[in-house]
């Protein structure tokens, strides 16, 4: 499989405090890659770096062979840090932690917001109908204000909104956070379908290590801003260190 995203020795700081200390990762086209780690490890910071929401102080991120993020003053050949909007245009969509839905807008209006890169109104309508087929609960509630939806429904809407731009790479920041186990299962099932049936490459970040590893091909483990382990997800599920620290076994 071809490499889609390459993260090469990146560092990110908030003020004087370095949050990522030299992270390297690869995401192959067509797979589901998971990143697990405790609260505060730096998972969200990594996703923000990929979409250009936080600047790198070192390293580079390459998407489909072209650099998308490099440090601001980098003189690297061909290197250019793209603004978030241009990264989205290349086909990367982020479902942020906590979903960030527009609570006073209807489901339909939220999906329209997700289509900001799509110019053709007929395509927008068709994408919305696809989303209502895929998430029937959203179809039933399309005219309702988002704040009236349950947490699980809001998460599904946030995913549908990200899919409106037909991304090649979908980044998911803790899709199961704060949801009941059965709802989390439902959401992971949908994530697999998005990957298997629509061919969208998925990179998901989770504190729920078991769900993440069971639903991915390759896994990475992050601890305080460093990648400390990476392997096939099924190998990580039986790794003694992972079992002890993340699976409560
Ligand atoms: N906007 C911010 N300003 C300052 N520090 C931050 C900010 N966002 C995150 N951090 C710090 O960076 C570290 C990594 O945070 P984060 O990426 O949110 O971790 P995770 O998503 O794994 O819980 C934490 O120590 C956190 O306190
Ligand atoms: Mg986070």
Q: Rg of the Cα trace of the chain?
A: 18
Q: Which of 21, 50, 20, 18 is nearest to 33 (CA)?
A: 50
Q: 13-42: per-residue pLDDT in tens?
A: 999 999 999 999 999 999 999 999 999 999
Number of Cβ within a 10 Å radius of residue 137: 16
- % of the chain surpassing 90 pLDDT: 89
Q: Which of 164, 163, 193, 159 is nearest to 174 (CA)?
A: 159
Indicate if ligand 1 lies below 6 Å from the C-beta of 62: no
> Which tokens hold the place of 159?
């995913």
> Which tokens hold the place of 188?
């992971």
Q: Tell me the C-alpha distance between 146 and 157, whole Å.
A: 9
**Measured torsion, CA atoms of residues 175, 37, 219, 18, in degrees rounded to the nearest 10:** 110
Q: Tell me the C-alpha distance between 233 and 157, whole Å.
A: 27
Q: 159-189: per-residue pLDDT in tens?
A: 999 999 999 999 999 999 999 999 999 999 9
Residue 249's pLDDT band (cuts 50, 70, 90): confident
Parse the chain into domains and list their residue ranges: 1-91+169-179+202-249
pLDDT for residue 231 is more than 60: yes
Residue 75's pLDDT band (cuts 50, 70, 90): low
Residue 80's pLDDT band (cuts 50, 70, 90): low
- % of the chain surpassing 70 pLDDT: 96
Largest CA distance in the chain: 52
Q: 84-107: per-residue pLDDT in tens?
A: 999 999 999 999 998 788 889 999
Distance (Å) from CA 39 to ligand 2 centroid = 7
Q: Tell me the C-alpha distance between 224 and 245, whole Å.
A: 14
- Sheet of 58-63, strands arranged across: 17-28, 3-14, 58-63, 66-69
- Tabulate helix, strand, coil % of the chain (nearest 5): 40, 30, 35
pLDDT for residue 200 is more than 70: yes
The whole-number pLDDT of residue 100 equals: 84
Pairing label, strands 3-14, 17-28 = antiparallel
Distance (Å) from CA 45 to ligand 1 centroid = 6
Indicate if ligand 1 lies below 6 Å from the C-beta of 44: yes
Indicate if ligand 1 lies below 6 Å from the C-beta of 19: yes
Indicate if ligand 1 lies below 6 Å from the C-beta of 40: yes
**Nearest atom within ligand 1 for CA of residue 15:** 4
pTM (2 decimals)?
0.95
CATH superfamily for domain 1-91+169-179+202-249: P-loop containing nucleotide triphosphate hydrolases (3.40.50.300)
**Between 102 and 143, the higher pLDDT residue:** 143
pLDDT for residue 77 is more than 50: no
């Amino acid at each position: 499989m071809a490499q889609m995203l390459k993260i090469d020795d990146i560092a990110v700081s908030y003020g004087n405090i370095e949050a990522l200390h030299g992270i390297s990762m690869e995401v192959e086209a067509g797979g589901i890659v998971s990143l697990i780690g405790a609260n505060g490890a730096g998972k969200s910071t990594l996703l923000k770096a990929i979409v250009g929401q936080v600047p790198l102080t070192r390293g580079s991120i390459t998407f489909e062979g072209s650099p998308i993020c490099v440090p601001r003053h980098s003189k690297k050949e061909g290197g250019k840090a793209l603004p978030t909007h241009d990264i989205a245009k290349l086909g990367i969509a982020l479902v942020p932690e906590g979903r960030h839905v527009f609570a006073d807008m209807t489901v339909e209006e939220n999906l329209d917001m997700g289509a900001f890169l799509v110019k053709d109104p007929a395509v927008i309508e068709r994408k919305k109908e696809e989303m209502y087929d895929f998430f029937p609960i959203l179809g039933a509630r399309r005219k309702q204000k988002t704040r009236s939806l349950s947490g699980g429904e809001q998460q599904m809407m946030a995913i549908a909104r990200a899919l409106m731009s037909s991304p090649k790479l979908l980044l998911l920041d803790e899709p199961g956070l704060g949801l009941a186990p059965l709802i989390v299962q439902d959401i992971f099932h949908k994530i697999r379908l998005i990957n298997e049936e629509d061919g969208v490459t998925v990179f998901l970040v989770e504190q729920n290590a078991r769900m993440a590893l069971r639903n991915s091909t390759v896994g990475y483990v992050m601890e305080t801003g460093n990648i400390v382990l990476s392997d096939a997800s099924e190998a990580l599920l039986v790794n003694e260190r992972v079992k002890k620290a993340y699976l409560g076994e």
